[in-house]
Amino acid sequence: MTESTLQALRAALAGAYDIEAPIGRGGMAFVYLARERRLDRPVAIKVLPPDLARDEGTRKRFLREARTVAQLTHPNIVPIFTVDEIDGFVFFAMAYVDGETLARRLAARGPLDPHQAGRLLCDVGEALDYAHARGVIHRDVKPDNILLDAATGRALLSDFGIAHADPRRGLLGRPAAPRGHVVGTLEFMSPEQARGDVVDARSDVYSLGVVGFYALSGRLPFHATTEEGFLEKHATQAAPPLATIAPFVPPRVASIVDRCLAKEPWARFADAAALVRAIAEAVLPPPVPLAVRAFLVRSTHLEAPALIHAFVTGVGLLPATVAAWLSPAGGAIRAVATSALAIALALPAVVAVVRVRRLLAAGHNRDELVAALAARQARRREELAFVYGPGPTSFEWGIGWLARVAVIAAITGAAAVLGVFDVPQQLASLLPVITAGGAAIAFLAAVVARARTEQRTDPLGERSLRFWRGPLGRALFRIADPGAEPAPPAVTILGRVETPA
């Protein structure tokens, strides 16, 4: 929209809205952040420029979108407040979502973890199920049309500009496009949509599957350099299994996405509600048994004794043993010192084995413990991201740059002191101060950065999960129950365990 047109829009809406800033584009329309004067609240204004509003077909499509969304009241669909036409501008005001699109989130910080992706797919799936039940097929489900609320993390579906009526159910939306007429976004459209066939709710399920594939792997299932190439691949080629692109994704979650991308509509989930149920079962943790919960709680109670043990071993026994071996003392003293150190090093393993035996005696195994830890850490990451933000703050970026500059100053000063290169006589006396000051600032910045990072990452919990999931944790369970037969490898899926038959 040109500056003169924008000024005309500001003047036309001045009685009801103050236009503040552009947000983006939606199809042929422009979207602006505005403040509604009467209720003093932020809104998003989607406006059709006058030159397009004069085209009767375009104007009807725009108003049809407004009427369609106005009849959909759901927490995961961006609501419309009002529709109006003033001085040649056709527009509607909708809720302003303070956040970012899924597309921007993925571009800025990469793929989502399975728990985050599962929540997002459930949110959008519930919105689609609600719309489908009222006869509306979205036909343009893609990351640009999924908004992420910064305050709640909730995903909201927007832009019903090319939605149409489900031929099996509804009366809302626009009529189905004529056969052979292709509309939508090439990268995310279903095979039947790419062929120009009449589509139903299962087409949106396919598109949401492409969104899930992209959100979990950071890649699209198909790549092409032309529109015809995309259409052909969606219509005829099988999508690669998600596990081959993103092997870290839990198998059960990957199989759900793969099913959404089936070429034949009947091979996908029957509707969005079935997809939501499958995702919820795959990513929501089951109730944690009491014995497993007690094991996790008990581990936190042992932190203080563990610190005392580490201090005594590291500061007392280890130096004493080294001194005994370096001194001309007799073999008896060396044997006593070595035995004491060995007992101290073995003590944590003995305590862990005792605790593991109690867990096994209650009828639980390592897989259940790892599943509970994984689920707890997934929730913990989500909570910390909400409290402290998903990524480094401007303060943390500043601390990082300060640490880098200080390290460079310290290294440069040390090199100059050692005579690696010549420096002016005036700076020679300052070199020790530059070296020591740079090292001290770098150390303090590293401590502050580490403290801020720990707020957002819960390092103790992450280390505990890695330990019990790794070979040492597996070895402790084998020591605690030597008579047990080795179990087949199990895969932890965010709170539940899948063991191959």
**Residues acting as catalytic residues:** 140
Tokens representing 169 are 């159910």
Q: DSSP letter string over 457-487?
A: H-HHHHHHHHHHHSHHHHHHHHHH-TTSPPP
Alpha helices in 284-389 (DSSP H): 290-301, 303-311, 318-326, 331-361, 366-388
User: Please, are residues 205 and 272 in contact by the beta-carbon 8 Å criterion?
Assistant: yes
3-state secondary structure of 426: helix
Question: Who's near 368: CB < 8 A, 6+ residues apart?
Answer: 289, 292, 497
Among the listed residues 15, 16, 49, the one whose alpha carbon sits nearest the alpha carbon of residue 31: 49
What is the rounded (10 degree) CA torsion for 358, 360, 363, 365?
130
The span from the CA of 319 to the CA of 322, in Å, is 5
Alpha helices in 140-226 (DSSP H): 191-194, 201-217
The span from the CA of 447 to the CA of 436, in Å, is 17
The span from the CA of 410 to the CA of 403, in Å, is 10
The continuous run of DSSP H or E covering 498 comes out as strand 496-498
The span from the CA of 46 to the CA of 101, in Å, is 16
User: Please, are residues 52 and 90 in contact by the beta-carbon 8 Å criterion?
Assistant: no
Amino acid at position 160, single letter: F
